[in-house]
Structure formats: structure tokens, C-alpha cells
Amino acid sequence: MEGGIYNKKLFFYIIKLSFLYYKKIIFHIKLGTYNQWFWTTLFEYCQLYNNSSGKHNCVPPIGLF
């Protein structure tokens, strides 16, 4: 029973996150800055990823797609 409750919470958390991303993407498309926002976010993520792992490869965050 505990596992079921945890999975439900995780499921709703994922839905909430994707909804926030969706709203942000729609907002940026309306402004016409979606491309700019996407690339800066990706670039920032790559910098963080490279700094934390010491590697120089870039794996885009799944949340953006």
C-alpha cells in the first residue's frame, strides 16, 4: 500500500512539472522567445552538468522535451 501512495505522489509531481514546463513554453512562444529560452536553458544545464561531473559531453534534460 505504501508503494502505491508513493507512486501516485511521484506521478502527480511529474504531471505538475510537465504542466509548468508547458506553461513556460507556451508563454515564450507567445513572446517569440522560445528558441532563445530553450538554448540558454540548455547551455546553462550543460555548464552545470560539466562542472559537476568534470565531463565535457552534454545530455539535455528530459524535462525539456
List of residues 6+ apart from 38 with CB closer than 8 A: 28, 64
The predicted pLDDT at position 33 comes to: 64
Residue 27: domain span: 2-64
pTM of the model: 0.34
Residue 60 has pLDDT above 60, yes or no: no
Block residue for cell numbers 540558454: 40
The residue type found at 7 is: N
List of residues 6+ apart from 48 with CB closer than 8 A: none
The predicted pLDDT at position 50 comes to: 63
Distance CA 64, CA 37 (A): 11
pLDDT tens, 26-45? 776 676 666 676 777 777 77
pLDDT tens, 20-29? 888 877 776 6
Residue 12 has pLDDT above 70, yes or no: yes
Domain count, the chain: 1
Distance CA 28, CA 11 (A): 26
